[in-house]
């Protein structure tokens, strides 16, 4: 157990550990120390055994917010209370029971980002998911119920919050990198309810709440997205992609659109794909992480052609590299809108391309189970777990991809004929 005289110079010199956490204990006050996380966060703590002999650890505050002298004085007070039979950890637990919703949400974000709250498949919650949770908290949840005591919430409270978000009562201009306005709506409202319900559930699991106060609240039904491209629209899109490139639209963006349509991959899976994940000979892409975890997904020859055709940029690992820096291309949605503008097609998003791939697969006679495996959906039953990237699945992906490539080529050929006539 490493010890040292805790002072600003000593603490400033502490380096974040590669994994887990590191505690340096003060060599003057027994039980007083500072914890360092891999993220670099440094927190003053005390450790002791209560009257029942149970080891307890209590956070005093972050280094930088508290000075070393302030933390040392606070540690003396807390440890002195322990000597007189009190239990600061129990006092903190009672105080947490009076946390309002805003404070509880802040606790959730801090704990989840430190990896101490687990989500789907008992894995740490992804940063992208936490970023969306934080956006809903800041924009909608806190303004409506942030000051309410968490354990006093009722089902009526959170359902009323959901109704207010659906009606746009929390709409406001966005800040940061995104433009436009956060307007709310039924879909956002339902996701806000899901977020606060999950936070309350995690708080109960961690002992901050004795009961989940709003268990049973009903989520608004969303508008199921059914938009997909028809055969005629796929042909038109093929023609528009050729025309768009002639008009100076990013060839990288057009290539991502083509890949998404030929694979059914999610937008972020396609545009952020790295070369080392792709196995052209094996006919698969080994994603280290997706919405449903690590996956190996089949890919057809037509899509492989798109990948192989992309220029390599030294130092950039991505198939679709950004024009500047060493990151991936990220403007596929804007590019798709431009291409669809040339085609006169409306209501198309990258997710519509994914639906279209599934629709073509269904028209070719593949079962729903096979299509779910092709799209990389999370398993929902035992049977699906037996569908791997085998030859049957590769054949299904290849036939679907080939059919879509044929339709795109037919559209491009019509553009050639029009040009020849002109």
Q: What is the pLDDT of residue 422?
A: 37
Residue 12 CB coordination number (10 Å) = 9
Q: What is the pLDDT of residue 123?
A: 82
Phi, psi of 147 (to 5 degrees): -90, -5
The verdict on domain 231-420 having CATH code 3.40.980.10 is no
Q: What is the pLDDT of residue 379?
A: 54
Q: Where are the domains of the chain?
A: 3-97, 101-206, 231-420
pTM of this prediction?
Answer: 0.63
Mean confidence (pLDDT) of the chain: 88
**What distances in angstroms separate CA 221 from CA 120, 162, 186, one per listed residue?**
22, 12, 8
DSSP annotation of 378: P
Strands 22-26 and 3-4: parallel
Q: What is the pLDDT of residue 257?
A: 97
Q: What is the pLDDT of residue 174?
A: 57
| C-alpha to C-alpha distance for 43 and 58, rounded to whole angstroms | 10
> Of 149, 24, 145, which Cα lies nearest the Cα of 95?
149
Phi, psi of 308 (to 5 degrees): -65, -30
Q: Which two tokens stand for residue 213?
A: 């106060």
Structural contact between residues 92 and 58, judged by C-beta atoms closer than 8 angstroms: yes
Q: What is the pLDDT of residue 122?
A: 81
Strands 181-182 and 32-36: unpaired
| C-alpha to C-alpha distance for 107 and 104, rounded to whole angstroms | 5
> Of 172, 165, 157, which Cα lies nearest the Cα of 188?
165
| C-alpha to C-alpha distance for 102 and 81, rounded to whole angstroms | 29
pLDDT, tens digit, for every residue of 304-316?
A: 999 999 999 988 9
| C-alpha to C-alpha distance for 155 and 217, rounded to whole angstroms | 5
Q: Locate tokens 């505050």: which residue?
A: 61
DSSP annotation of 86: -
> Of 376, 200, 175, which Cα lies nearest the Cα of 293?
376
Q: Which two tokens stand for residue 404?
A: 């879509």
pLDDT, tens digit, for every residue of 343-361?
A: 999 999 999 999 999 999 9
| C-alpha to C-alpha distance for 140 and 20, rounded to whole angstroms | 34
Q: Locate tokens 């699906």: which residue?
A: 384
Q: Which two tokens stand for residue 117?
A: 């709250």
Q: Locate tokens 């080529």: which residue?
A: 409
> Of 230, 229, 246, which Cα lies nearest the Cα of 412?
246
Buried b / exposed e across 59-93, counting CB within 10 Å, b at 16+? ebeebeebebeebbebbeebbeebeeeebbbeeee
Q: Which two tokens stand for residue 69?
A: 């002298």
Residue numbers in the chain where pLDDT is lower than 70: 91-97, 173-182, 222-225, 378-389, 415-422
Q: What is the pLDDT of residue 383?
A: 37
| C-alpha to C-alpha distance for 311 and 308, rounded to whole angstroms | 8
Secondary structure (3-state) at 250: coil
Reported residue count of the chain is: 422
pLDDT, tens digit, for every residue of 170-217?
A: 877 655 544 456 677 888 999 999 999 999 999 999 888 889 999 999
Quick one: which H or E segment has residue 66? none
Q: Which two tokens stand for residue 237?
A: 């899109």
> Of 199, 196, 177, which Cα lies nearest the Cα of 188?
196
Structural contact between residues 227 and 348, judged by C-beta atoms closer than 8 angstroms: yes
Q: Do domains 3-97 and 231-420 have the same CATH topology?
A: no
Q: What is the pLDDT of residue 213?
A: 95
pLDDT, tens digit, for every residue of 159-180?
A: 999 999 999 998 776 555 444 5
Fold exhibited by the domain 3-97: Double Stranded RNA Binding Domain (3.30.160)
């Amino acid at each position: 157990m490493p010890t040292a005289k805790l002072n600003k110079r000593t603490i400033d010199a502490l380096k974040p550990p590669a994994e887990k956490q590191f505690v340096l204990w003060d060599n003057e006050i027994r039980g007083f120390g500072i914890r360092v996380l891999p993220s670099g966060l440094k927190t003053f703590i005390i450790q002791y055994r209560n009257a029942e002999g149970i080891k307890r650890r209590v956070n005093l505050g972050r280094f930088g917010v508290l000075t070393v002298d302030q933390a040392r004085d606070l540690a003396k007070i807390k440890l002195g209370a322990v000597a007189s039979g009190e239990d600061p950890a129990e006092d903190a637990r009672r105080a947490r029971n009076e946390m309002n919703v805003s404070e509880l949400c802040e606790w959730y974000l801090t704990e989840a980002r430190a990896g101490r709250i687990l989500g789907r498949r008992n894995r740490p919650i992804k940063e992208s998911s936490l970023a969306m949770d934080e956006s809903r908290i800041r924009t909608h949840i806190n303004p409506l119920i942030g000051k309410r005591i968490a354990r006093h919430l009722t089902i009526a409270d959170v359902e009323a919050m959901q109704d207010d978000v659906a009606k746009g009562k929390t709409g406001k201009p966005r800040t940061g990198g995104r433009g436009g306005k956060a307007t709310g709506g039924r879909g956002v409202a339902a996701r806000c309810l899901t977020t606060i319900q999950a936070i309350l559930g995690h708080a109960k699991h961690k002992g901050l709440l004795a009961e989940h106060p709003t268990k049973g609240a009903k989520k608004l039904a969303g508008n199921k997205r059914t938009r997909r491209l028809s055969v005629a629209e796929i042909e038109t899109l093929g023609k528009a992609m050729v025309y768009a490139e002639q008009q100076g639209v990013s060839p990288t963006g057009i290539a991502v659109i083509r890949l998404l349509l030929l694979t059914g991959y999610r937008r972020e899976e396609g545009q952020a794909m790295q070369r080392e994940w792709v196995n052209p000979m094996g006919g698969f892409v080994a994603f280290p992480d997706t919405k449903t975890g690590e996956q190996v997904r089949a890919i057809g020859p037509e899509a492989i052609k798109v990948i192989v055709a992309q220029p390599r940029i030294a130092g950039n690992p991505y198939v679709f590299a950004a024009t500047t820096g060493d990151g991936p291309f990220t403007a596929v949605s804007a590019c798709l809108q431009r291409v669809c503008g040339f085609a006169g097609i409306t209501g198309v998003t990258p997710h519509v391309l994914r639906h279209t791939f599934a629709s073509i697969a269904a028209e070719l006679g593949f079962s729903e189970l096979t299509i779910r495996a092709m799209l990389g959906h999370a398993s929902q039953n035992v049977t699906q777990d037996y569908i791997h990237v085998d030859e049957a699945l590769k054949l299904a992906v290849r036939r679907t991809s080939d059919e879509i490539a044929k339709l795109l080529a037919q559209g491009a050929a019509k553009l050639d004929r029009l040009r020849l006539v002109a």
